[in-house]
Amino acid sequence: GNSVTQMEGPVTLSEEAFLTINCTYTATGYPSLFWYVQYPGEGLQLLLKATKADDKGSNKGFEATYRKETTSFHLEKGSVQVSDSAVYFCALSPSSGSARQLTFGSGTQLTVLP
Amino acid sequence: SQTIHQWPATLVQPVGSPLSLECTVEGTSNPNLYWYRQAAGRGLQLLFYSVGIGQISSEVPQNLSASRPQDRQFILSSKKLLLSDSGFYLCAWRGTSGYNEQFFGPGTRLTVL
């Protein structure tokens, strides 16, 4: 079956530090890949997505590249801010199936200190 | 544009009481709809999904049930709540862009005492 493995947290960084959150996946075919962000007490927000190999998703300074050869989709940001403190989820959607259910990683808690 | 609503936002219920959580989507037709539960400090657990009116698939056997009485309405219910039902309940719909992303509602915080 499909699975997503995320870097375990929590991750604590100082403001303006470089961020990497690792994500690897197992799936057949060519799944779509996503990063979601969840701020305290809120639902999940789609942060970025990629649908084929070598695609780079980007949004709000965050980037992730779909690497088919390493089955990875690592999240990066060059300079984090206090407002980036949240839980980040990596997810995949299979390339077939009527419901196209998402498979989520376990989430990584990020805290950015001023 | 599409929006998704959930209510109530918070709920405190005694053990053994019934439950009804509602989710509605605006601005789209015949969406796939999903119910997730998120326990404190944990990831998301898919509970139910629906591809159309009256069509419900259950992912986890438990004392919860779901119904879809209208195209854009998805309801999560229980006849008797357990302590273990406490958590953050999220409803989502699948986008129609072809990328299969899901868009989430604001969630309902349920505390069972």
* Cβ distance of A34 and B101 shorter than 8 Å: yes
The pLDDT of residue B61 is 66
The string over A66-97, giving b where at least 16 C-beta atoms fall within 10 Å of a residue's C-beta and e elsewhere, is bbeeebbbbbebeebeeebbbbbbbbbbbeee
Q: Which of A65, A89, A84, A94 is nearest to A15 (CA)?
A: A84
Q: What is the pLDDT along chain B (113 residues), one digit of tens a residue?
A: 889 999 999 999 999 999 999 999 999 888 999 999 998 777 899 999 999 999 999 888 679 999 999 999 999 999 999 999 999 999 999 887 777 889 999 999 999 99
* Cβ distance of A46 and B101 shorter than 8 Å: yes
Cβ-Cβ contacts under 8 Å, B32 against chain A: 99-100
Q: In the structure encoding, which two tokens stand for residue B49, read together? A: 């999904």
The pLDDT of residue A97 is 67
> B48, B56, B102: best mutation site toward chain A, by most A Cβ within 10 Å?
B102
Q: Is A51's Cβ below 8 Å from some Cβ in B?
A: yes
* Cβ distance of B32 and A99 shorter than 8 Å: yes
* Cβ distance of B100 and A93 shorter than 8 Å: yes
